[in-house]
A and B are shown apart, each in its own frame.
Chain A
Amino acid sequence: MEGIFGNLALGFIEVFKLQVITLGGMTMTLPFNIIMCLIGVILGTLIGVLPGIGPVATIAMLLPVTFNLAPIAALIMLAGIYYGAQYGGSTTAILVNLPGESSSVVTCLDGYQMARRGRAGPALATAAIGSFFAGCVATLVVAMFAPPLAEVALKFGPAEYFSLMVLGLVAAVVLAHGSVIKAICMVILGLLLGLVGTDVNSGVLRFAFGISEMADGIGFVTVAMGMFGICEIIANLEQKEHREVFTSKVGRLMPSKQDFKRMIAPILRGTALGSALGILPGGGALLASFGAYTLEKKVSKYSHEFGKGAIEGVAAPESANNAGAQTSFIPLLTLGIPSNAVMALMIGAMMIQGIAPGPQVMTERPQLFWGMIASMWVGNLMLVVLNLPLIGMWIKLLTVPYRYLYPSILLFMAIGVFSISNQPFDCFLMAIFGLLGYVCVKLGCEPAPMILGFILGPLMEENLRRAMLLSRGDPFVFVSPSKPISLGFLIAAAILLAIIAAPALRKKREAVFVEEK
């Protein structure tokens, strides 16, 4: 325990450190990291509130910009965007019945009903309180579980890494909507696209078609912006704009004494479940909020009120999605493996800074590691302040029509992608991937698993090659008893696949996703 507090103290010192900054020709001494954290959570809340732009597109947009920042400042800001979006997403869900983020879909069910009964204020407050509590606990969870996990990860060989990635990809398939086969196809397509560029082992240029800009492969940011950003804008433009905002009366913010009594248990359960689900590869905020809502509906003695404005239906998923958002950093920080698209972008951010993600980050760069964890706690505190007293400001934003928003989003994306290599070619590729993403969505194939495959493609090939070389070409090395960890990962992956392939569960899974729509 003492070690944790020592480490956290190190982190807090890093977060509040004064730095000499040169900005636009002026030199100033500022607590720069904390300012970046603030910028991150404000941006996160902003895009969380605005439907139609999510953390993936925003982080992708800002990646090239972070090139000029110190690694820790960049990562603190990007992390803030992700968990900040969980706060902002609930505001839109409660007031407009539109999820600002996919992870606040279930909050709509009861949050909006509370708002319709004139209890928007307590609903917003419950969401913020639950999120804050969950954020604090999840920070401690990260601090406690990351070091031992990293130690285990240091013993991983190529076989273990390969099997772990298989498990992660299978988990991504489980989380995808609709057909399982199509989701697997998207993962494989992502893996293949990830192989474009120079092969590290032989130096051969693969699938570059003589285009010199493709020698380094297709940029991850380019793909993410196209598949998520461009595709999302087009999808939004298809629909007629229609929003009914419940801004007239947010009412008293403070929940009543009875509200407090009723929210304690759901918040605790939501936090516990969210933290656990966030750690799983393929997990994160989305899975956590769904799981928590379902669990709460089963165990609560007020289950008959669910869907009609039960405060438990806001408290549990909102705590869970924030807890899940934060603990999903654990696989990234300890294993160097992203569990969802946002974490894949964080890997991109680390690589831009010349940091190889993996278990060695904690020992080689303790300031970075613990600073990032400490910043999560500080960021959560800022978010409570941003979201409760300043709620009126965010509500006003909801009235901005989409026709003002999307050209701005498009411009920032184009600037961001162009600046990666200062060549027009990347923007061209972005448009191509936007088109591909649009076609995929129309054909009922979700882009999220593809993105995960894309980032893991080269890593998987590398580890497969090494494992096969070490085992002299024996393909059973991954399941041999001498490698129990690798065997365990693959068994887990097989069980997951068997579960979703089973007809009974398949129906249930479809039902869950129907409810979401």
Chain B
Amino acid sequence: MGIKIKSQQDWWAGLMFIGFGLFFITFALGTPEFIDRIVGTKLIAGYQMGSSVRMGPAYFPVVLGGLLAFLGLLVLFDSIVEEGPDVAKFHFRPLLFVAVSSLAFAYLLKPLGLVLASVALVFISAFGGHEFKLKEVAIMSVVLVIFSVLVFVKALALPFPICPGFIDNCPIR
């Protein structure tokens, strides 16, 4: 007897919710004893459950996690009973470039300063769009750098370095 998935969207959503529910339960309660015995060491310690009068740190997460996993099962059940939409197509190009550009900014800001980090963000994120015109992107990054230095560092006094740390006498301060 084969089970046919009628709604791909609900199928994956259900799995996701069950996964999250079990994840929180496992980390709140710790790994079950039989698994620890197989591995030979306590994998995840877990927190105290407490009682309903004095709830420990594990109480609320376990209840919620259980509820989430249960509802996830319902969604999963729904997906083989009721027709539903397919999962819409993933577009990896914008996803990748947008995510990478914000990471690049974050990890370059301290070593290289606001100017270079901003330029990196603008250039990398521009690759995620439909068209990339070098001249436009260059002008945009210059405008944005000037704006953010003036507004965020000069006016709002955010403690960001402007220039790379290894240049001793930077022209802009």
Are A and B bound to each other?
A: yes
Q: In whole angstroms, how far apart are the Cα atoms of A238 and B103 in the complex?
A: 21
Residue among A233, A443, A475 making CB contact with B94, cutoff 8 Å: A233
- On chain A, the residues within 8 Å of B78 by CB distance are 179, 181
B154 x A24 contact (CB < 8 A): yes
Q: In whole angstroms, how far apart are the Cα atoms of A410 and B127 in the complex?
A: 13
List residues of B (9-48) whose CB comes within 8 Å of A's CBs.
Answer: 9-10, 12-13, 16-17, 20, 24, 27-28, 47-48
- On chain A, the residues within 8 Å of B93 by CB distance are 237
Stretch at the interface among A357-365, A425-433, A482-490: A425-433
- On chain A, the residues within 8 Å of B90 by CB distance are 442
B103 x A428 contact (CB < 8 A): yes
Q: In whole angstroms, how far apart are the Cα atoms of A404 and B55 in the complex?
A: 52
Q: Which of B24, B140, B155 has the most CB of A within 10 A?
A: B24
With an 8 A cutoff between CB atoms, is A422 at the interface? yes
Answer whether A234 and B95 are a contact pair too, CB < 8 Å, given A179-B10, A191-B64, A410-B121.
yes
Answer whether A407 and B126 are a contact pair too, CB < 8 Å, given A179-B75, A192-B65.
yes
List residues of A (428-467) whose CB comes within 8 Å of B's CBs.
Answer: 428, 430-431, 434-435, 438-439, 442-445, 460-461, 464-465
Q: In whole angstroms, how far apart are the Cα atoms of A402 and B27 in the complex?
A: 42
B55 x A424 contact (CB < 8 A): no
A410 x B98 contact (CB < 8 A): yes
Stretch at the interface among A197-205, A341-349, A377-385: A197-205
With an 8 A cutoff between CB atoms, is B113 at the interface? no
- On chain B, the residues within 8 Å of A68 by CB distance are 156-157
B64 x A464 contact (CB < 8 A): no
With an 8 A cutoff between CB atoms, is A301 at the interface? no
- On chain A, the residues within 8 Å of B94 by CB distance are 233-234, 237-238
**Which A residue sits closest to B121, measured CB to CB?**
A411
Q: In whole angstroms, how far apart are the Cα atoms of A155 and B64 in the complex?
A: 28
List residues of A (462-517) whose CB comes within 8 Å of B's CBs.
Answer: 464-465, 468-469, 472-473, 475
With an 8 A cutoff between CB atoms, is B146 at the interface? no
Answer whether A414 and B28 are a contact pair too, CB < 8 Å, given A204-B47, A234-B95.
no
A234 x B75 contact (CB < 8 A): no
Interface size on A, residues (CB 8 A): 66
With an 8 A cutoff between CB atoms, is A418 at the interface? yes
With an 8 A cutoff between CB atoms, is B91 at the interface? yes
- On chain B, the residues within 8 Å of A185 by CB distance are 13, 17, 68, 71-72, 75
List residues of B (57-103) whose CB comes within 8 Å of A's CBs.
Answer: 57, 60-61, 64-65, 67-68, 71-72, 74-75, 78, 84-85, 87-88, 90-91, 93-95, 98-99, 101-103
**Which B residue sits closest to A204, measured CB to CB?**
B57
With an 8 A cutoff between CB atoms, is A207 at the interface? yes
- On chain A, the residues within 8 Å of B131 by CB distance are 403
Q: In whole angstroms, how far apart are the Cα atoms of A428 and B27 in the complex?
A: 22
- On chain A, the residues within 8 Å of B130 by CB distance are 237, 240-241, 403
A473 x B155 contact (CB < 8 A): no
A202 x B85 contact (CB < 8 A): no
With an 8 A cutoff between CB atoms, is B167 at the interface? no
Q: What is the distance, in angstroms, from A161's C-beta to the closest C-beta of chain B?
A: 15
B105 x A434 contact (CB < 8 A): no
Q: In whole angstroms, how far apart are the Cα atoms of A427 and B110 in the complex?
A: 13
Residue among B16, B20, B87, B128 making CB contact with A237, cutoff 8 Å: B128
With an 8 A cutoff between CB atoms, is B122 at the interface? yes
B128 x A195 contact (CB < 8 A): no
Q: In whole angstroms, how far apart are the Cα atoms of A314 and B68 in the complex?
A: 41
How many interface contacts (CB-CB < 8 Å) are there between A and B?
A: 188
B122 x A413 contact (CB < 8 A): no
Answer whether A207 and B27 are a contact pair too, CB < 8 Å, given A68-B156, A411-B122, A422-B159.
yes
List residues of B (98-136) whose CB comes within 8 Å of A's CBs.
Answer: 98-99, 101-103, 105-107, 109-110, 118, 121-122, 125-126, 128-131, 136
Answer whether A410 and B24 are a contact pair too, CB < 8 Å, given A201-B57, A234-B91, A464-B60.
no
Answer whether A464 and B47 are a contact pair too, CB < 8 Å, given A238-B91, A414-B106, A424-B107.
no
Q: What is the distance, in angstroms, from B149's C-beta to the closest C-beta of chain A?
A: 11
Answer whether A431 and B102 are a contact pair too, CB < 8 Å, given A404-B140, A443-B13, A468-B55.
yes
- On chain B, the residues within 8 Å of A414 by CB distance are 102, 105-106, 121
Residue among B85, B129, B157 making CB contact with A403, cutoff 8 Å: B129
Q: In whole angstroms, how far apart are the Cα atoms of A415 and B152 in the complex?
A: 8
With an 8 A cutoff between CB atoms, is A27 at the interface? no
B17 x A428 contact (CB < 8 A): no
Q: In whole angstroms, how far apart are the Cα atoms of A290 and B161 in the complex?
A: 48
- On chain B, the residues within 8 Å of A443 by CB distance are 9, 12-13, 16, 87
With an 8 A cutoff between CB atoms, is B3 at the interface? no
**Which B residue sits closest to A412, measured CB to CB?**
B148
Q: What is the distance, in angstroms, from B64's C-beta to the closest C-beta of chain A?
A: 5
- On chain A, the residues within 8 Å of B101 by CB distance are 410
- On chain A, the residues within 8 Å of B144 by CB distance are 407-408, 411
Answer whether A407 and B122 are a contact pair too, CB < 8 Å, given A68-B157, A442-B88.
yes
With an 8 A cutoff between CB atoms, is A388 at the interface? no
B75 x A202 contact (CB < 8 A): no
Q: In whole angstroms, how far apart are the Cα atoms of A390 and B9 in the complex?
A: 46
A189 x B47 contact (CB < 8 A): no
Q: What is the distance, in angstroms, from A240's C-beta to the closest C-beta of chain B?
A: 7
B125 x A406 contact (CB < 8 A): yes
List residues of A (384-409) whose CB comes within 8 Å of B's CBs.
Answer: 402-404, 406-408
B155 x A23 contact (CB < 8 A): yes
Q: In whole angstroms, how far apart are the Cα atoms of A407 and B95 in the complex?
A: 13
With an 8 A cutoff between CB atoms, is B172 at the interface? no
Residue among B10, B57, B106, B136 making CB contact with A206, cutoff 8 Å: B57
A184 x B103 contact (CB < 8 A): no
User: 9 nearest interchain CB pairs?
Assistant: A427-B106, A237-B94, A473-B53, A424-B106, A443-B13, A473-B52, A199-B57, A204-B57, A431-B99
Beyond known contacts A199-B57, A475-B52: 8 more, CB 8 A cutoff: A65-B152, A179-B10, A188-B67, A202-B47, A206-B61, A403-B136, A407-B126, A460-B60
12 contacts between A and B (CB under 8 A): A204-B57, A234-B98, A234-B128, A411-B148, A424-B110, A442-B87, A442-B90, A443-B16, A464-B60, A468-B53, A468-B55, A473-B52
